[in-house]
Amino acid sequence: MSATIEQLEHLERKIVVTLKWDDINAEFDKRLKQVAKKAKIDGFRPGHAPVKMVASMYGASIQNDVLNDMAQEAFNNEIIEQKIRIADVLRLEPVEGAAENNDIFQAAFIFEVLPEVKLVDLSGLNIEKSVANVGEEEVDKTIEILRKQRTRYNRVEREAQNGDRVIIDFEGKIDGVVFEGGTSQNYPFVLGEGQMLPEFEAGVVGLKEGESKDVEVNFPEDYHGQDVAGKTAVFNITVKNVAAAELPEVDEQFAKALGISDGDVNKMREEVKKNVGREVKRRTDAQNVEAVMTALRESHEFDLPNSLVNEEAGRLAEEMKQNLVQQGLDAQDVQLPIDMFKERAAERVKVGLILPVLVEENKLQPTEEQVKKIINEFAESYEDPQEVIDWYFADRQRLQGPMNLALEANVVDFVLSKAKVTEKTLSFDDVMAAA
């Protein structure tokens, strides 16, 4: 067996493998005899049918298998011998004139190789690192959010004002005609939170239970409902209920509701601070990971294997399709073109090619202690941390997630230690508003 390799465009290569028909026929005869020993043919006991009859029935299939297997073996041997890093085998092509040679059989494998990735000097990278602090002010803000989540609304006999929850009936008309989606009954919302258009909310403020009013509303040109965007509607609004917000006091009962068994408010604040700190760190870490990966991606230039980009684009498309199906869309109605995901896919593939080289050259593989630390951090937020730790270590496959996070952290820390870093201090609100 022999092979020749030819460079095509970009990362495509072609290897033509050559097999001797004498070797092919020898392997064919060997497999034919093996099949003949087991073949079940009417009129003959298993394994006693004439070889010629077995050949007439199974010969074509056996020969096809022999050709495929021997050609694949020759291809694999050549790849190993030349230390070629394959991205994907694209196709097999016929070899011109090969059929005219009675002594040899040839097959052409068209494939893509992985690009050679040469790391840039990381000291030339400029990266903005996000940092954020969690102090008493942030704890106060979080507790206020927790209070609002436990808001009770009590019916009042006064005019509606911002902060009240109102229940209304409304009917909207454009040019005197009721439009789709413009009518509802017993619709609840909280005034002043921007749930409705400003003109609509302004029309409700000042109304008491049982009162009605016509309110003119101008829909913005970029309104998500295209049928009404840029148009003016008149809504007849009837208030059916006005309820004032009552937030719980930050006391023993409130602390107990948050899981502090003895109701100690100071303990509650410490627990809130710890949880907020964990969440802020998670979000700033995610921003720093993205900043590092973007810097690595934009600083390296090399061709990407189309096969890997297409594969990743297909995976992203399928992922989005499944998300849309879970939201209630019919799978048959979801047709997502692969091209709309190729840019994102190319970014992922590029980073995926850079990281192994960076990790290998700088020995950034995570240690067992790093993985344990991440698992312990996961477990802290659960009622029984040891149960969570035991679950991870009960199956090595479960450790893959923490191992990947540890590896990612090593990469980020290493790159930031080499690059020119500018710290960007984020406010608590900015961090929590980040997706």
pLDDT digits (tens, 9 = 90+) for 392-401: 999 999 999 9
Angle at 379 between CA 383 and CA 359, to 5 degrees: 170
Task: Write the DSSP string, 253-289.
Answer: HHHHHTT-TT--HHHHHHHHHHHHHHHHHHHHHHHHH
The single-letter DSSP state of residue 343 is H
Which pLDDT band, with edges at 50, 70 and 90, does 2 fall under? low
pLDDT given for residue 333 in this prediction: 76
pLDDT digits (tens, 9 = 90+) for 17-72: 999 999 999 999 999 988 888 888 877 777 777 788 888 888 899 999 999 999 99
Is a pLDDT exceeding 80 seen at residue 98?
A: no
CA distance 127 to 300: 15
pLDDT given for residue 388 in this prediction: 93
Strand-pairing partners, residue 190, are 165
pLDDT digits (tens, 9 = 90+) for 361-415: 999 999 999 999 999 988 988 889 999 999 999 999 999 999 999 999 999 999 9
pLDDT given for residue 3 in this prediction: 66
Size of the chain in residues: 435
pLDDT given for residue 324 in this prediction: 87
